[in-house]
Structure 1
Amino acid sequence: MYKNILVPVAPDHINDCEAQLDAAQRLLAPDGNLSVLSVVEELPSYVGSYFPKDQVRESIDRFDKALKKAMPSDNIETHVVSGHPTNTVLNWANKNRVDCIVVASHRAGLSGLLLGSTAARVVRHAKCSVVVLR
Protein backbone atom coordinates (compact mmCIF):
# COMPACT_ATOMS: atom_id res chain seq x y z
CA MET A 1 0.00 0.00 0.00
CA TYR A 2 1.18 3.50 -0.83
CA LYS A 3 0.83 6.57 1.39
CA ASN A 4 1.04 9.32 -1.24
CA ILE A 5 -0.24 8.58 -4.76
CA LEU A 6 -0.22 10.95 -7.71
CA VAL A 7 -2.58 10.57 -10.67
CA PRO A 8 -1.52 12.86 -13.54
CA VAL A 9 -4.41 13.65 -15.88
CA ALA A 10 -4.11 15.54 -19.15
CA PRO A 11 -6.55 18.47 -19.37
CA ASP A 12 -8.30 16.85 -22.35
CA HIS A 13 -8.75 13.57 -20.42
CA ILE A 14 -10.28 14.95 -17.22
CA ASN A 15 -13.46 12.94 -17.75
CA ASP A 16 -11.60 9.75 -18.75
CA CYS A 17 -9.59 9.01 -15.61
CA GLU A 18 -11.90 6.53 -13.85
CA ALA A 19 -9.54 3.58 -14.35
CA GLN A 20 -6.59 5.57 -12.96
CA LEU A 21 -8.57 6.69 -9.92
CA ASP A 22 -9.87 3.16 -9.31
CA ALA A 23 -6.36 1.69 -9.47
CA ALA A 24 -5.01 4.45 -7.23
CA GLN A 25 -7.78 3.90 -4.64
CA ARG A 26 -6.96 0.17 -4.53
CA LEU A 27 -3.24 0.89 -4.01
CA LEU A 28 -3.78 3.61 -1.41
CA ALA A 29 -3.13 2.94 2.26
CA PRO A 30 -6.10 3.64 4.56
CA ASP A 31 -4.52 6.87 5.82
CA GLY A 32 -2.92 7.78 2.48
CA ASN A 33 -3.28 10.84 0.26
CA LEU A 34 -4.50 10.78 -3.33
CA SER A 35 -3.66 13.77 -5.54
CA VAL A 36 -4.71 14.43 -9.11
CA LEU A 37 -2.47 16.73 -11.11
CA SER A 38 -3.29 18.33 -14.44
CA VAL A 39 -0.65 20.30 -16.33
CA VAL A 40 -1.61 23.14 -18.66
CA GLU A 41 1.17 23.70 -21.15
CA GLU A 42 2.51 27.22 -21.24
CA LEU A 43 2.21 29.15 -24.47
CA PRO A 44 5.46 29.67 -26.38
CA SER A 45 6.58 33.29 -26.16
CA TYR A 46 6.06 33.88 -29.87
CA VAL A 47 2.42 32.77 -29.52
CA GLY A 48 1.79 34.14 -26.04
CA SER A 49 2.19 37.73 -27.20
CA TYR A 50 -1.07 37.37 -29.17
CA PHE A 51 -3.09 36.41 -26.09
CA PRO A 52 -4.05 38.39 -22.99
CA LYS A 53 -1.44 38.29 -20.20
CA ASP A 54 -3.65 36.25 -17.89
CA GLN A 55 -4.69 33.63 -20.49
CA VAL A 56 -2.72 30.83 -18.82
CA ARG A 57 -4.09 31.77 -15.37
CA GLU A 58 -7.65 31.71 -16.76
CA SER A 59 -7.01 28.30 -18.34
CA ILE A 60 -5.66 26.96 -15.07
CA ASP A 61 -8.70 28.24 -13.15
CA ARG A 62 -11.11 26.78 -15.74
CA PHE A 63 -9.39 23.36 -15.70
CA ASP A 64 -9.21 23.40 -11.90
CA LYS A 65 -12.99 23.84 -11.65
CA ALA A 66 -13.58 21.10 -14.24
CA LEU A 67 -11.16 18.76 -12.47
CA LYS A 68 -12.79 19.27 -9.06
CA LYS A 69 -16.22 18.66 -10.61
CA ALA A 70 -15.05 15.44 -12.31
CA MET A 71 -13.66 13.87 -9.11
CA PRO A 72 -15.88 11.21 -7.55
CA SER A 73 -14.76 12.00 -3.99
CA ASP A 74 -14.05 15.02 -1.83
CA ASN A 75 -11.02 13.15 -0.42
CA ILE A 76 -9.09 13.61 -3.66
CA GLU A 77 -6.82 16.66 -3.78
CA THR A 78 -6.74 18.37 -7.16
CA HIS A 79 -3.95 20.53 -8.52
CA VAL A 80 -3.64 22.35 -11.83
CA VAL A 81 -0.33 23.94 -12.76
CA SER A 82 1.39 25.17 -15.90
CA GLY A 83 4.56 23.83 -17.43
CA HIS A 84 5.97 20.98 -19.51
CA PRO A 85 3.87 17.86 -18.73
CA THR A 86 6.64 15.35 -18.02
CA ASN A 87 8.97 17.68 -16.15
CA THR A 88 6.14 19.17 -14.13
CA VAL A 89 4.75 15.77 -13.10
CA LEU A 90 8.20 14.53 -12.07
CA ASN A 91 9.09 17.73 -10.19
CA TRP A 92 5.70 17.80 -8.44
CA ALA A 93 6.10 14.14 -7.42
CA ASN A 94 9.57 14.78 -5.99
CA LYS A 95 8.57 17.96 -4.18
CA ASN A 96 5.49 16.32 -2.63
CA ARG A 97 7.18 13.02 -1.71
CA VAL A 98 4.95 10.89 -3.90
CA ASP A 99 5.66 7.17 -3.52
CA CYS A 100 3.54 5.99 -6.49
CA ILE A 101 2.38 7.55 -9.75
CA VAL A 102 -0.61 6.00 -11.54
CA VAL A 103 -0.45 7.11 -15.16
CA ALA A 104 -2.53 6.20 -18.22
CA SER A 105 -0.82 5.25 -21.43
CA HIS A 106 -3.03 6.26 -24.31
CA ARG A 107 -2.45 4.12 -27.35
CA ALA A 108 -0.51 6.39 -29.63
CA GLY A 109 0.07 6.12 -33.32
CA LEU A 110 3.42 5.94 -35.06
CA SER A 111 4.36 9.44 -33.90
CA GLY A 112 3.98 8.34 -30.28
CA LEU A 113 6.36 5.45 -30.85
CA LEU A 114 8.96 7.73 -32.40
CA LEU A 115 8.64 10.67 -30.01
CA GLY A 116 7.74 8.83 -26.85
CA SER A 117 4.79 9.62 -24.61
CA THR A 118 4.51 11.43 -21.32
CA ALA A 119 3.80 8.10 -19.62
CA ALA A 120 6.96 6.55 -21.06
CA ARG A 121 9.09 9.48 -19.91
CA VAL A 122 7.54 9.39 -16.43
CA VAL A 123 8.31 5.65 -16.20
CA ARG A 124 11.93 6.20 -17.24
CA HIS A 125 12.66 9.14 -14.93
CA ALA A 126 10.43 8.81 -11.85
CA LYS A 127 12.16 8.24 -8.52
CA CYS A 128 9.16 6.29 -7.20
CA SER A 129 6.98 3.39 -8.29
CA VAL A 130 4.92 3.94 -11.44
CA VAL A 131 1.80 2.00 -12.40
CA VAL A 132 0.92 2.30 -16.09
CA LEU A 133 -2.63 1.55 -17.21
CA ARG A 134 -3.41 0.71 -20.82
Structure 2
Amino acid sequence: MYKNILVPIASDHDPSSPKAIAAARLLADGDARITVLTVMEAVPEYVAQQLPKGQLAHNAIEIAKGLRAELEGQDDIVVEVVEGHSGRTILEWAEEHGVDCIVMASHRPGLSDYFLGSTAARVVRHATCAVHVMR
Protein backbone atom coordinates (compact mmCIF):
# COMPACT_ATOMS: atom_id res chain seq x y z
CA MET A 1 0.00 0.00 0.00
CA TYR A 2 2.55 2.63 1.13
CA LYS A 3 6.16 2.91 -0.01
CA ASN A 4 7.64 5.40 2.48
CA ILE A 5 6.25 5.30 6.01
CA LEU A 6 7.24 7.56 8.89
CA VAL A 7 6.71 6.49 12.51
CA PRO A 8 7.38 9.41 14.88
CA ILE A 9 8.29 8.22 18.37
CA ALA A 10 8.68 10.48 21.40
CA SER A 11 12.07 10.42 23.06
CA ASP A 12 10.46 8.99 26.20
CA HIS A 13 9.47 5.94 24.09
CA ASP A 14 5.70 5.82 24.34
CA PRO A 15 4.40 2.34 25.26
CA SER A 16 2.28 2.46 22.07
CA SER A 17 5.39 2.61 19.88
CA PRO A 18 5.55 -1.14 19.13
CA LYS A 19 1.90 -1.00 18.06
CA ALA A 20 2.62 1.92 15.72
CA ILE A 21 5.54 0.03 14.17
CA ALA A 22 3.38 -3.08 13.77
CA ALA A 23 0.68 -0.99 12.06
CA ALA A 24 3.31 0.54 9.77
CA ARG A 25 4.39 -2.96 8.74
CA LEU A 26 0.79 -3.91 7.96
CA LEU A 27 0.38 -0.79 5.82
CA ALA A 28 3.72 -1.20 4.07
CA ASP A 29 4.20 -2.40 0.52
CA GLY A 30 6.64 -5.28 0.08
CA ASP A 31 9.67 -3.05 -0.50
CA ALA A 32 8.56 -0.10 1.63
CA ARG A 33 10.91 2.03 3.69
CA ILE A 34 9.92 2.50 7.35
CA THR A 35 11.62 5.30 9.27
CA VAL A 36 11.36 5.82 13.02
CA LEU A 37 11.84 9.51 13.78
CA THR A 38 12.46 11.10 17.16
CA VAL A 39 12.41 14.86 17.47
CA MET A 40 14.53 16.37 20.24
CA GLU A 41 12.92 19.59 21.33
CA ALA A 42 15.06 22.58 20.44
CA VAL A 43 17.05 23.96 23.34
CA PRO A 44 16.93 27.75 23.69
CA GLU A 45 20.22 29.42 22.76
CA TYR A 46 20.74 30.84 26.25
CA VAL A 47 20.59 27.30 27.65
CA ALA A 48 22.66 25.72 24.85
CA GLN A 49 25.49 28.16 25.65
CA GLN A 50 25.76 26.66 29.12
CA LEU A 51 26.03 23.06 27.89
CA PRO A 52 29.35 21.35 27.21
CA LYS A 53 30.48 21.56 23.59
CA GLY A 54 28.86 18.79 21.54
CA GLN A 55 26.29 17.89 24.21
CA LEU A 56 23.28 18.15 21.89
CA ALA A 57 24.97 15.98 19.25
CA HIS A 58 25.86 13.49 21.99
CA ASN A 59 22.23 13.45 23.17
CA ALA A 60 21.03 12.74 19.61
CA ILE A 61 23.49 9.84 19.29
CA GLU A 62 22.38 8.38 22.63
CA ILE A 63 18.70 8.63 21.70
CA ALA A 64 19.41 6.91 18.37
CA LYS A 65 21.37 4.15 20.17
CA GLY A 66 18.45 3.62 22.55
CA LEU A 67 15.98 3.37 19.68
CA ARG A 68 18.22 0.95 17.76
CA ALA A 69 18.56 -1.22 20.88
CA GLU A 70 14.79 -1.19 21.31
CA LEU A 71 14.38 -2.16 17.64
CA GLU A 72 17.10 -4.82 17.71
CA GLY A 73 16.54 -7.45 15.04
CA GLN A 74 14.34 -5.13 12.99
CA ASP A 75 17.01 -4.21 10.46
CA ASP A 76 14.48 -3.00 7.91
CA ILE A 77 13.71 0.10 10.03
CA VAL A 78 15.77 3.28 9.66
CA VAL A 79 16.26 5.41 12.80
CA GLU A 80 16.53 9.21 12.56
CA VAL A 81 16.91 11.77 15.35
CA VAL A 82 16.46 15.46 14.58
CA GLU A 83 16.08 18.66 16.57
CA GLY A 84 13.12 21.02 16.41
CA HIS A 85 9.50 21.52 17.41
CA SER A 86 7.85 18.09 17.30
CA GLY A 87 4.72 18.77 15.22
CA ARG A 88 6.31 21.15 12.74
CA THR A 89 9.48 19.06 12.38
CA ILE A 90 7.55 15.83 11.72
CA LEU A 91 5.58 17.59 8.98
CA GLU A 92 8.68 19.15 7.41
CA TRP A 93 10.65 15.89 7.55
CA ALA A 94 7.77 13.99 5.93
CA GLU A 95 7.49 16.56 3.15
CA GLU A 96 11.25 16.69 2.48
CA HIS A 97 11.61 12.89 2.35
CA GLY A 98 8.54 12.04 0.26
CA VAL A 99 6.66 10.20 3.01
CA ASP A 100 3.31 8.85 1.84
CA CYS A 101 2.00 7.72 5.25
CA ILE A 102 2.66 8.76 8.85
CA VAL A 103 1.78 6.24 11.58
CA MET A 104 1.84 7.69 15.07
CA ALA A 105 0.61 6.99 18.56
CA SER A 106 -1.65 9.41 20.39
CA HIS A 107 -2.94 9.72 23.91
CA ARG A 108 -6.50 10.50 24.89
CA PRO A 109 -6.87 14.27 24.70
CA GLY A 110 -6.90 16.25 27.89
CA LEU A 111 -8.27 19.72 28.46
CA SER A 112 -4.99 21.37 27.42
CA ASP A 113 -5.10 19.55 24.06
CA TYR A 114 -8.36 21.28 23.19
CA PHE A 115 -6.70 24.66 23.67
CA LEU A 116 -3.13 24.02 22.54
CA GLY A 117 -3.41 20.91 20.35
CA SER A 118 -1.36 17.75 20.63
CA THR A 119 1.42 16.76 18.24
CA ALA A 120 -0.80 14.13 16.63
CA ALA A 121 -3.62 16.62 16.14
CA ARG A 122 -1.23 19.08 14.48
CA VAL A 123 0.14 16.38 12.17
CA VAL A 124 -3.35 15.20 11.23
CA ARG A 125 -4.49 18.75 10.44
CA HIS A 126 -1.48 19.77 8.34
CA ALA A 127 0.02 16.64 6.75
CA THR A 128 -0.02 16.39 2.97
CA CYS A 129 0.03 12.59 3.13
CA ALA A 130 -2.07 9.91 4.83
CA VAL A 131 -1.90 9.81 8.63
CA HIS A 132 -2.80 6.75 10.70
CA VAL A 133 -3.20 7.53 14.43
CA MET A 134 -2.93 4.71 16.98
CA ARG A 135 -4.71 4.91 20.34
Q: Which residue does 1:67 correspond to in 2?
A: 67
Contact residue 5 and residue 99 of structure 1 kept, 8 A: yes
SS of equivalent to 1:13? coil
| Aligned-residue offset at 1:88 | 1.1
What is the count of residue pairs matched by the alignment? 134
Deviates more, 1:7-16 or 1:55-64: 7-16
| Aligned-residue offset at 1:16 | 4.3
String of CA shifts for 1:6-54, please: whole Å, max 9, x gaps: 0000100266411100100000000111110001112112222222232
TM-score (norm 2): 0.93
| Aligned-residue offset at 1:95 | 0.9
Unaligned runs of 5+ in 2: none
Q: Which amino acid aligns with 1:36?
A: V
Q: Which residue does 1:83 correspond to in 2?
A: 84
TM-score (norm 1): 0.93
Q: Which amino acid aligns with 2:84?
A: G
Q: Which residue does 1:122 correspond to in 2?
A: 123
Q: Which residue does 1:50 correspond to in 2?
A: 50
Query: How far, CA to CA, are the matches of 1:61 and 1:27 in structure 2?
Result: 29
Contact residue 37 and residue 80 of structure 2 kept, 8 A: yes
Query: How far, CA to CA, are the matches of 1:71 and 1:53 in structure 2?
Result: 29
Unaligned runs of 5+ in 1: none
* Cα gap change, 1:14 to 1:109, in 2 (>3 Å): closer
